Structure formats: structure tokens, C-alpha cells
Amino acid sequence: MLSLVAAIIVGTMIILSGTLIYIQAMRAFFITKRLTILVNNTVTVIRNVNAGQSINKENSIAIIKQAQEINVSELLPGDLIYLSAGDLIPADVKILLSNDLFINHSSLTGESLPAEKHADNNPQHQNLFDLQNICFMGTSVISGSAIAIVLATGANTYFATIAQTINQKRPITNFSKGIKRVTLMLICFMLIMVPIVFIVNGFLKNDWASAFIFSISVAVGLTPEMLPMIVTSNLARGANKMSKQKIVVKQLAAIQNLGAIDVLCTDKTGTATNDNIEVVNYITLDNQENKDLISLIYLNSYFQTGIKNPMDSSIIKFGQEHNLNDLHKYYQKIDEIPFDFNRRKLTIVLQDELNNKKLICKGAVEEVIKSCNRIFYQGKIVPLTSDLLRMANATITNLNQKGLRLLGVAYEDQNLTASKYNEENEKDLIFYGFVSFLDIPKPSAVKMIKLLKAHGVDLKILTGDNELVTRAICNRVNLEIKGLISGEQLIGLAEYELKQIVENNNIFVKLNPLQKAKIIEVLKSNDHVVGFMGDGINDALVLRQADVGISVDNATDIAKEASDIILLEKSLLVLENGIVEGRRIFGNILKYIKITIASNFGNVFSILVSLAWFSFSPMSPIQILFQNLLYDISQFAIAFDRVDDAFLLKPQRWNAKDMLPFAFINGPISSIFDLTTFAILGIGFGVFPNPTEHNVNMFNSGWFIGGLLTQTLVVQMFRTEKIPFIQSRATWPVNVMAIFICMTGLVLPYTYLGNQMNMVGPPPIYIPIVLGIVASYCLLSQIIKMGYIKVFKKWL
């Protein structure tokens, strides 16, 4: 019967632990099944070109006429393809000939503005995405056209390489390292203590078979075998709680990693910013806002044809917000001089209800101002003198240094008699002013940075954007720039130089994905726990490299797939909630591990003393297992407990070395009261002089009660560094579960189930005695705790 009960107890432990882990693993699996699927598409391919035939503007039309439509899957390296507005780029290609080609590569870089691409490349560019003659699969053509040669297709493309990183085994995280260290420490602890118990028991009792069974029971009792279930249940509850705060947790271990991070790296675009270009200023040369200026650029953007870039969209939105919705109704479009790469400007000719014509030109400020001989200054139109031109150039420089993107606006409303307009009409214009744009920081970014600092997390910006724009964003979110390094400066540096650079600088610009991943790797090698927050396809590699990868609500599918945590709220303040919740969960896990190891060590120490003191075992193997099961059940409620505020203010990580002094100091304290219990039961109740089976069973039951009560109630002392019940109170689930387990322990020896485990209820007088022992133990534990904190400067 006893063997059956033992089997049921051990089986229950295994089933409870294994089932919960399996359920949580399956939940995580279904959450992560968000695979990115490329839709079958066609591409215009040119395969009938003679070998050695050059491609130029003169013969391009004839070559394009030879093109045919094929499925993207049939595309091969070396094929020529024709790209036009609206096309998805089906492979990594090199531009051979282009006409005003603009590419949207926001899916790769996170940069919302289109990039100009053409056959000529500047060899000084170090950033992969700055190569002017290379386009990557996954990007798209906004405007213009091109003939390109295929360099790589399918799995060999840059896009596929990034996507494949999701399926690769990620570097070991802080959580995994911590669990391994704690597990190794527990194994070593058990390998030392269990043989000692076996040898001592065997020599003293001369019954090696019983000694072996008893030592195995001690091994089970010594090890927190419910650790996987306690950890998983804590993490699962945390994931559920965080989901209510609009945080999706894909990997449960990421919760603890989030609480442990002391460095958060982020790609500026889409994370600290809205990834949405907005008009921030519109001024004339004398630095005055002018509504006519915004009216002119609004009309230009409204009437222009073709695909509007983000600047045009922001201009129209800004105009509508400033009551310009109906302005276009008073005009009709006469002609348009479209944008091209050489002129870098776009001109619209309009006519109002009185047949008055107006030519409106917008574009790169340097190009627009070259087309002007007059300027609007101090409320009137004056000649554009060299002094005013210097003032204009100074304004351009000043705005650029603030990281703003600029458009210049010019117009003409006299002598517009032509029926058709071309580039010749873009001269002798009136320069009206500057319209500036910026990717506006998220409103929550400023507060988030303050909260991160308050919680001991250092923020570093890792971006592919340029220095000026990044400095502007940092200034707007009040992020102090301790040091700024570009990707080009990182090339060729030795490992020791990188280790120093990543510590001394917090802003890194013009980085490619491999450089971002390298910075994360070096930070981790410097003993940091690193989180990375990104949103683009190019961030997938970096998200996998970090201890915890975080993506945001507007991230690409691949970035979300590569991440561990997804913030569904546009507000970044939920990130701070996640960090605090991660630390709270880890604190509760740490409570279970440290308290359980200390308590179990005290029990083993008491057993060793008992083996040398009296002739029988202080508790039977089945009773040790059942006591351990009841204690572990009581610890499920720890997931609902509070954690001290001081613990939440600093990054928290696994530290196996802290557990040994905690166990060796606090564990033997319980042994003092165990030995007191032995003396009372053995001497006071006459068990030692008369060790009959009945008396030994009563002795075992008495220590079962005392051991379970001390283990369960000392949690109230050890769960906080403060004075329990006065400065810190446990939550009601912890209190209710503790009372339930204590009552079960007190009643069990007097029940049928207790009898099946050879328990005999002690005399009623024993109950107040054992309660007094438990109260004394709790009081001494509090005193020892205060001394421990003074010596080690920490508790948990």
C-alpha cells in the first residue's frame, strides 16, 4: 500500500509539472505561427538580348518591346527585368538604366521616405541600403522605370536571408543561462548531500537497502522538483496579465528577460517615432509663418499626378487641418511639369475662376532657389540679392542641422500666356519660403525614456538613419547624447575596441543590420542583458540576437515573427509596465527557489543529526515526499504575491552564487527548531526510551507537522526584506493557501490517509507546543534576515 501511495505522489508531481509545461508550450507555439507568405506574382523579363549588347536610352525602347511576363518563381540570376511604377521588386537586382526611379524600401529599413536609385553608384557608401544602383527583393517601385539585371533570387536574396534567421537557433538568453546555472548548482548540491546521507545512514543502521531508499527520498526532498511548474505558472500568469496591458508574450521566458534588461536598444523609426512624416514648420526667409505659403504647397501637392510620397500626403493632411479643404475648388489644373531626378522639383500651373494663372513650384530648396530671381521677404517681393541668398543658405543649413527635411516653394503669377509648359518656364520665379518635415516622436517616448532611466535601463539608439535626423529626434525626446558613432567608424575595429565603444556611446547611426547585431553581441559579452525594439524586416536578425526582441504595433510581419514580445499599444509606456511585470514575476520565482533550497537544506541537516542521535529515521520516505508535495502546492500562490518596490527599481537576473549563502545561513536556523522538536518528541513524549512502532510513527508525524508548518509559514518572513505583516503584507491567495496547507498538515496524521502513510496523531498537547516552536522560528528568522541584509546589502 505504501509503495502505491508513493507512486501516486511522485506521479502526481510529474504529471502536474509536465502537463502545465506542455500546455504553455502549445499556447506559445500557436501564438508564434504567424508565417510570412510571398504571394505568387509575375515579372517583366527580357531574355532575347544579344550577348555583349549595350543598354542605353537610345535602344532601351526596342529592348523593352522584347519583354515577356513570367512567374516570379521562374526568374533566374542574370535575367534582365523591366521595372515600372507599382512593381514589387522580385529579386536582388542591379540597375543598368533608369528613368526617375524611386524605391520604397521602408519594409527593409523602416525609412518612410522613398530612395532615388540609378545606374551610377557612389563607391563611398558603406551602408548596404545606400548603394544607389542596388535594389532588394521586398521593396517596391513608387515612380519611374528601370532595366535591371538579377543578382540573386529566392533563398539567396537579402530578404530571404533575413527571413531565415527566424528559424535559426537563437543565441542563449539570460533566462536560459540563469536556469542552467541554478540547475547545475542544485545538481552539485544534491550529489554532495545525498551520498553523505546514504553513507551515514548505512553505517549507523547497517541496512543499506533502506538507506538507499531513504537517500533517494532525501534527494527528491532536497530538490525543488516543482521548479519547472512554479516557473511556468508564474510566467503564464504574467503573460496573461501583460496581455490585458496590450502586450503579447510569444516566448514565456522573455518575461523574465524583459525584467532583467539593463540596456534597451531601439531603432528610432517606428519605435521612438510614429514612422509618419509630418509638417512641423512653414516659414518665409524672415522666419515668419505664412498661410499663403502653406496654401501654395497644398495646391501643388493636391493637383500633382502619380503616386504621392509621404511628404505630399503630410502636406495635404496639414492643409486640411488648417481649413484648406475647399481651396482646390477655386482652381483648375492647366499643366504639370513632373518631377525628375535631374531637376528635383515639380511644377503645377493652375487657373482660378477669374482666369488668372499661377505657376507653383516645389522641390529641393537648392534647386528651387536657383530658378528664382526674386524673393518674398518682410511682407513684400524684393530682388534676390547675394545677401538674401546667403541668408537663405544659412536658413537651409540651420534647418538641416536640426534634422528637418526641407522643401522650397516658389511661384509666378505674371506673364503666364503659354498653353503648354515645360522646364523653360521654371525660371525667374519668386521664392516664397521653406516647408520643413520631421518623423514626429511618439508622445509617450519622452516619458518612456525617463521611466527607463528610473528603472535602471540604459537606452541606446541603433539606426540606419543619418546623424542629423537622429540628433533631432534625440533632442525632441530629451535623450542625452553621451556619444555618437557611425557605421563607417565601426568597420575594421578590434573586439576590445568595440567593447569600449558600445559602453561609452549611446547613439549609433548609419548602421546596417549586421552592425546592429554585432553591437548587441558585444553588449551581451560585456555582461549586459540586452533588449532590442525594432519594426523592419532588416531588424529580424537583431531581434533574434537580443536577449529579448520587442516589436511594436506597426511592425512588419517578419519583425513580429522574430520578436519575443509585441507591444499592441501605440504608447511606449506599456514597455515600462512589461519591465516591471517581468521583475515582479522573477521576484516571485526567486522567492520559491531560495526559500525552498534553504528550507530543504535545513531539513537534510536535521536528518543527518538525527541519524547520529537516535536509532530510527525522523520521517519515512513516503512522508518526506508527501510533505514536499504539500509545500510545493502552497507555493503556487506565490505567483499572486507582491514584490518590494526596491526590487522593482533595478534590473534583476539569475545569480546562482547568491543562493548558496542564503541557503547555508537561513537553512540551519530551521534545524535548531527541528532539533528542539526532536528533543520534545523523543524525551518529553518518551519515544527515545521506548522506540516502539507506534511511538516512532507518532514521532514521524510530529516532525511532519512541525516541518510542514515551519516551511510554509517562514515564507511570510522570507518573502520580503521588510517586517512582515507590518511593513509588507502578502496577498490573500498566499495567506489562504498557507492556512489551508497548515490546517491540512495539522489534521492529516489523524485521518485515514495519514494512517495509510503510517502516521499516528501526536497527543493534543503537542499542537500548542509546535505552534510555539513555529512562532519562535519565525521571530528568529526575521532577526537573522535583518543581519543578512546588513552584511550582503540585499535579500532576494
| Residues noted as catalytic | 267
Alpha helices in 322-466 (DSSP H): 365-370, 386-401, 445-454
Mapped onto helix, strand or coil, the DSSP state of residue 613 is: helix
- The identity of residue 742, as a single letter, is C
Q: Which residues contact 743 (CB under 8 A, 6 or more apart)?
A: none
For residue 174, which of 242, 259, 240, 243 has the smallest C-alpha distance?
259
Half-sphere exposure of 484 (CA within 13 A, CB side): 15
Beta-ladder partners of 408: 363, 434
Nearest-angstrom CA–CA distance, 347 and 336: 6
Set of cell numbers at residue 470: 537622429
| Sign of the alpha-carbon torsion through 184, 185, 190, 191 | positive
Nearest-angstrom CA–CA distance, 796 and 784: 14
- The identity of residue 611, as a single letter, is L
Mapped onto helix, strand or coil, the DSSP state of residue 590 is: helix
Q: Which residues contact 227 (CB under 8 A, 6 or more apart)?
A: 592, 593
Nearest-angstrom CA–CA distance, 472 and 487: 18
Alpha helices in 620-765 (DSSP H): 621-634, 645-648, 656-679, 693-718, 732-747, 752-756
Contact criterion met (CB below 8 Å) for 81 and 90 = yes
Count each helix (H run) and each strand (E run) in the chain, helices first.
27, 23
Set of cell numbers at residue 788: 543578512
- The identity of residue 561, as a single letter, is E
